Structure 1
C-alpha cells in the first residue's frame, strides 16, 4: 500500500474524534505514535480504509494524581512515564516496564494507549498495569464506561472496545509505602526486542520477609496476560525464604500457557517464566531489606 492510498483524518479535539468514530461507517483504526501501526502495515495485517490520527489531542497526554488514584492519558509516551516523578515514587513497576519498550526512539513516539489498544500478549506495559489494578476508561460520543484491565483483553490483538469508542483515561492504584514492585523481561536482543517472556510482580510486605499479599502477571505466555493465581496464593503462607521462592518459581512453570513460535519454544518460555519470577522475587526481597 502506497502512502498516497491511505486516507487519514486528523481531529483537533477529543469530541471531534468521538464524532468521527460515531459516524464513520468504513473500517478505521486510531493511530498515535504509529510504532505498532507501521510494523503491522509492513506485515500486511493492518490495512484499514481510514486512519484516524489522534496525535494532536494534547488533552489526552497527562499524568496526575486525583482522589487517591493516578490518572494517565492514553497519549502519554513511554518517555513521559519514565521521567515522571509521580510514577517513579508511586508506580515504579510501570516505569521499569516503560524502560523496556524498544529503543529510545520508540519510547519517545510510542504511547501507553497504543500499547494497550494493540493488545499484544507481549506488550511490556500491560503486565505492570495488571499488578497496579488498572482501569481503562472507554468513551464514545454518548457514553463512558470503566473497564477493569483483566476484562479488557479477549485475545491477541482483540479487546472489548467498540468501533465507536476510544481510550480516554488509564487509572491505576498507587503503590503503598509497604509495597515493592518490579518488571522483568527476556528478549532476543536488548532494547529493541519483543518479549519472549515478561513478568510484573507487586508485593505488599510486613516485617522481615513476610509477604501479606502479592500480584504476579506474566506476558507473552498465553493469548492474554496470565495472573499467576496459584503462585500468588503461596506468597503469604510463610516468609519468602530461598526454599519458598524456589517452590513458587516451580509452580509458575505449570501455571503459564505458552506456545512455540519463531522466537521461542513453549518449554523454553516455561523455563524462563519460572526463572524470571525467581529472580524477581530475590530482587524484591533485597529492595525491601534496603528500603
Structure 2
C-alpha cells in the first residue's frame, strides 16, 4: 500500500511494531489517526520512506483504572475521552480539552498519543496532562522507561523519545473529591482552528470554603513548550479565591508566558488573552465548587 508515494507497514501488535522500528534501515514515521500527518504532508513536510501505521494495534486503545492511577492507551481517541465514564469527575480538564480538539471528525480520528508525539506547543490535551501529573511510558524492543510529561518536551515538535521507541501508555493522577479542574481555549471555533492561547487549571480546595490548598496552571501556545505558571500557582494559596484575588492572580500571568508574534496573533495579544483566560477559568471553577 502507498500513501503519497510512501510505503506503509501496518503491524497488528506492539511487539511487531517495536521489532519493525528497531530493525528498520529506512527513514520511517509512526502514524495513527493521521490528522497531523495530512496537514504536514500538504505543507511538504513529513515525507518518510515508510509510514508505520499503528492504527490497527487494538491493545493500545483503552482507558482503565490501575490502582490509584488511570491509564490511557496512546490510540485512545478524543471522542473516547469525552465519552469516558472513568474520566468523568476524575479528569474533567482532559475531557474539556478533548472536546475542544477540532471538529467531530478530528475528535473521532485523532488520538491522545498523536497529540503528545506531535509536540505542538498549541496541542490542546497537553496542558491538561500537565496539571494531571501525567507520566509517559516509552517502549522499545528491549526496555520501557517512564518520563514525567514536563520532561518529555524539549521544543516545538521535539521530545525525548528516541527513534526506536514508541508511546505505549499515558498515566495520570485522578482528581480527589476536593479537586476541580478546567480547560480554557482561545481560537475561532467556527474555523476549528488550533489554539491562539489555552490554559489548564487544577485546584485542590478546602471543603466548604473558597480557600485553595494548592494548584497547577499550564498554558499552551505561549512558548516553545507548555508553560507552567509557577508564580500564579504560588498566589493561589495566599488568600481565599475572591473576585479581587482572582484578578490579581490573572495579572501575574501576563509576566509568566513567553509568546511570539505570528500570523495568528501578536505576542501582546497572547499575553493579554492568557490573563483573561486564566481569570475566566478561575471564576468558572469557583462557580463549580460553590455548586457542589
Q: 1:137-162, CA deviations, whole angstroms, 9 ceiling, x for partnerless residues?
A: 00000010000000000000000000
| Poorly superposed stretches of 4+, deviation over 2 Å | 188-191
Moved more, 168-177 or 207-216: 207-216
The Cα of 1:89 is off from its aligned counterpart by 2.2
Equivalent residues of 1:200, 1:216 under 8 A apart = yes
CA pair 4-210 structure 1, distance change in 2 beyond 3 A: closer
**Equivalent runs, 1:54-133 vs 2, <5 Å:** 54-133=54-133
The Cα of 1:188 is off from its aligned counterpart by 2.6
> TM-score, normalised to structure 2's length?
0.98
**Equivalent runs, 1:130-209 vs 2, <5 Å:** 130-190=130-190, 192-206=192-206, 207-209=208-210
The Cα of 1:268 is off from its aligned counterpart by 0.1
Q: Are 1:288 and 2:289 matched, yes or no?
A: yes
The Cα of 1:191 is off from its aligned counterpart by 6.4
Partner residue in 2 for 1:16? 16
Local SS of the residue matching 1:200: strand
The Cα of 1:281 is off from its aligned counterpart by 0.4
Equivalent residues of 1:101, 1:191 under 8 A apart = no
The Cα of 1:4 is off from its aligned counterpart by 5.3
Root-mean-square deviation (Å): 1.0
Q: Distance in 1 between matches of 2:290 and 2:189?
A: 32
Local SS of the residue matching 2:88: helix
Equivalent residues of 1:213, 1:236 under 8 A apart = yes
Q: Distance in 2 between matches of 1:143 and 1:55?
A: 22
Partner residue in 2 for 1:219? 220
Equivalent residues of 1:123, 1:219 under 8 A apart = yes
The Cα of 1:12 is off from its aligned counterpart by 1.2
Moved more, 258-267 or 182-191: 182-191
Q: Distance in 1 between matches of 2:285 and 2:168?
A: 33
Equivalent residues of 1:8, 1:51 under 8 A apart = yes
Partner residue in 2 for 1:210? 211
The Cα of 1:189 is off from its aligned counterpart by 3.5
Q: Distance in 2 between matches of 1:267 and 1:4?
A: 40
Q: Distance in 1 between matches of 2:83 and 2:3?
A: 34
Local SS of the residue matching 2:190: coil
Which blocks of at least 5 consecutive residues in structure 1 are unaligned?
none
> TM-score, normalised to structure 1's length?
0.98
Paired residues, what number? 290
The Cα of 1:3 is off from its aligned counterpart by 3.4
